[in-house]
Structure 1
Amino acid sequence: MIKTKLDKMLNNIDESLFSFAEYDDSAAEKTGYSNYSYWQSTWQAFLKNRIAAFLLILMLLLVTFTIVQPYLPNQKSPIKIYTDEKTGIQLRNHPPDGEFWFGTNSIGQDLWSRIWSGTRTSLFIGVMVGVVEAFIGIFVGALWGYVRKLDRIITEIYNVFDNIPTTIVLVLLTYILRPSLSTLIFAMCATGWLKMARLIRNQIIIIRDREYNLASRCLGTPTGRIIIRNLLPYLVSIIMLKMALAIPEAIGSEVFLTYIGLGLPLDTPSLGNLINEGRVIMMVPSLRYQLIFPAAVLSVITISFYVMGNVFSDAADPKNHV
C-alpha cells in the first residue's frame, strides 16, 4: 500500500523541474581555498588597539627623525663647544632660545643635537642587544627544551651564570674592557640571554610531546626542522614580547652603567650620559631642563616599547587566531 502511494507521488512530479548535473573532472579536483594570513591577522589585531597604533607611529617618526636630524639645515654639532662671538667665552648652561632649542650643557655643547645623537646611540645599543639576546636565547632554549640529552648539561651552565648577579657581570666586564659601544653590548649580552633561553625551554617542554611532534619524529624528521616548523611558530608571541622589552631594558642598563661611571666615554653622546649630566645639576631650578629633555625622550621610548610589546604579544598569540 505504501509502495502504491509512492508510485503515485512520483508519477505526479513534473520532470521539467529537474535536470541532471554534468560531471566536471576539473571541478572535482578543486580543493577548498582560504585567504587567511597569520601575519595579516596579527597586524589587524594589533592596529585595533589605538594606543599601540599611536605609539608605533610615534616611534617610527622618532626613529626616522633621529636618523635624518644631522642632515637637516641649521643643525649644530653634538660635540662642538660653542662660544660667544663677542666675548669668546663658552656658552655654558645657556637657556633654551631660538638658536639653542634645548639650551646648552655645562661646557657649551648644543643639547638639542646631543639628545638626538644620544638617542641614536641608545637605540642602536637596545636593538643590537635585543637581537643578540633573542638569537642566543632561542637557539640555546630550543636545544635545552627539546634535546633531552642536553638538558642536564645546559641546566648546570644556566645555574652557574644565573647565580652570578647581573650587575656584577656588567660592572666587571665594563671595568676590565675598554669603554666602547662593543664593550657595552657584549657586557649586556653576556647574561641577558639567560631569561630568554629559560622561557623558551619551559614552553618547548610543554608542547614537545604533542601528537604531531611524535608523528614527525616517527617519520624521521630532522630535529632542526621540528624545532623550526613545529615548535617555534607557537612561541612567536613570547619571543616578540621578550625582544620588545629587551630594548628599553638595555637602554636602562646603559643609563645605570653611566650613572656609576662605567658607561660610554663622555665624547660619545648617549641618553645615559645626558641623564647623568643632568642629574648632577638637577637641584638648580634654572638648569633642570638638562635632565628633563633626555629623561622625557627615554620615558617615551621605554613606555612605547613596553606597550607595543604587550599588545603585539597578544595579537600574535596563536590561541587568538581561528
Structure 2
Amino acid sequence: MSAAIEKPLALPAPRRPGWLRRLRRYPLPTLGGVLLLLLVLSTLFAPWITSRDPIEMEVIDRLLPPGADHPFGTDAYGRDLFARVLYGGRVSLLIGVTVALASTVLGLVIGVVAGYFRLADAVIMRVMDGLMAIPGILLAIALMSLTRASLWVVVIAITIPEIPRVVRLVRAVVLTVREQTYIQAASAIGTRFPRLMRLHILPSTFAPLIVQATYICASAVLTEAYLSFLGVGTPPEIPSWGNVIADGRLYVQLAFWNVLFPGIALALMVLSVNVLGDGLRDALDPRLARRL
C-alpha cells in the first residue's frame, strides 16, 4: 500500500482591513485624496516650482495676462500670481489643518466629559448651545475686530465656532456607548475612568471624528477666505488664497485672472477634502459595511 503523499498546507493570504476593502469600491475618494496630495505637495515644494518671490513688487509688470514669464499673470502691484497662489496655499492649508486638529482635540475632551458626567453635561451643553446660536462667521469677525490681525488670531477665531459641533458629535457617541452593558459591567468591577475612556469609549469616537475633521478643515479654509475677503483675516503681507482674491476683486473686469486662479485652487482644495471625507465616512461606517 503506497503511502499517501502529504501536501503542505497553504496558509491563507492576509486579508486587508475591512475599511480598506470598502474604500476601494469608491473611486471618488481616491481621486479626492490624490488631488489633495498634489495640492499639498505643490505648496510645500513651492520654492522649487517657482523662483519668484510672492511679495516682490514690479510695478512695470502690473496686471500682465498669463504668459511664459508669469503663468498666472500678475496682480495690481506686479507680483507674480503663480507664486502667490502656491505660497498662499501654504497659509490656507496650515490654517485648515490647525483648526481641524485644535477643534477636534478640544471638542473630544469637552464632549467626553459632557457625555459621561451628567452634572457637567447640563452646564457644558448650555454654553455650547450659546456659541452655536451665533453664526460662526460673525463670531470670527467679532473676535478679529477685538484683537490685532495675525495668523494665529485667525486660527483661534475660526476654531472657537467649530468646537461646539465636535462637542455635540462626541457627546452623542459617548451617551450611546455609556449605556452599553459591557461599559456598565466594567464600571461595576471597579474600572477607573481613565482606563474606561482609553479602552472602551474613545475608540468609538475615532471614526466619526476623522470624518468631521475633514469637513472642519475645508470649512476653515473657506472661512479664512471669507475673513480675508472682508479685510479682517490674515494680514495683507501674508499671502493666502483669501488675500489674493481680495486684492484682485477690484480689478476683476480688467484682469479676471487675479480672481480666477486662486478661486480655482480654493475650490479644488475644498472639493478634494469633502470628497475624501465622504469616502472615509462610507468606509468607516459599520452599517454600510454590512451592505458591501
- RMSD over aligned Cα atoms: 2.0
The residue aligned with 2:52 is 76
Q: CA deviation at 1:104?
A: 0.4
Which deviations, in whole Å up to 9, do the C-alpha atoms of 1:27-63 show, x marking residues without a partner? xxxxxx99667xx322332233111112211211221
The residue aligned with 1:53 is 30
What code does the residue aligned with 1:57 have?
V
The residue aligned with 1:301 is 269
CA distance in 1, matches of 2:108, 2:97: 16
The residue aligned with 1:246 is 216
Provide structure 1 residue ranges, at least 5 long, that are not aligned to the other structure. 1-15, 17-32, 84-89
Larger radius of gyration: 1
Q: CA deviation at 1:231?
A: 2.1
SS state of the match for residue 179, structure 1? coil
SS state of the match for residue 45, structure 2? helix
Q: Does 1:261 align with 2:237?
A: no
Q: CA deviation at 1:244?
A: 0.3
Structure 2 vs 1, CA of residues 151 and 36 (structure 1 numbering), >3 Å: closer, same or farther?
Answer: farther
CA distance in 1, matches of 2:38, 2:20: 19
CA distance in 1, matches of 2:15, 2:182: 22
The residue aligned with 2:256 is 288
What code does the residue aligned with 1:292 have?
L
Q: CA deviation at 1:317?
A: 2.0
The residue aligned with 1:135 is 105
Q: CA deviation at 1:320?
A: 4.5
Q: CA deviation at 1:273?
A: 0.6
CA distance in 1, matches of 2:270, 2:177: 32
CA distance in 1, matches of 2:168, 2:114: 9
Provide structure 2 residue ranges, at least 5 long, that are not aligned to the other structure. 2-11
Q: Does 1:93 align with 2:63?
A: yes
1:222 to 192, 202, 209: 192
SS state of the match for residue 109, structure 1? coil
Q: Does 1:200 align with 2:176?
A: no
Structure with bigger RCO (C-alpha 8 Å, 6+ apart): 2
The residue aligned with 2:5 is none
Q: CA deviation at 1:160?
A: 3.1
Q: TM-score, with normalisation over the residues of structure 1?
A: 0.82
Q: TM-score, with normalisation over the residues of structure 2?
A: 0.90
- Give structure 1 regions of 4+ aligned residues with deviation exceeding 3 angstroms: 33-37, 318-322
1:63 to 11, 30, 40: 40
Number of residue equivalences: 280
What code does the residue aligned with 2:82 have?
W
The residue aligned with 2:283 is 315
2:96 to 126, 129, 133: 126
State percent identity of aligned pairs.
27
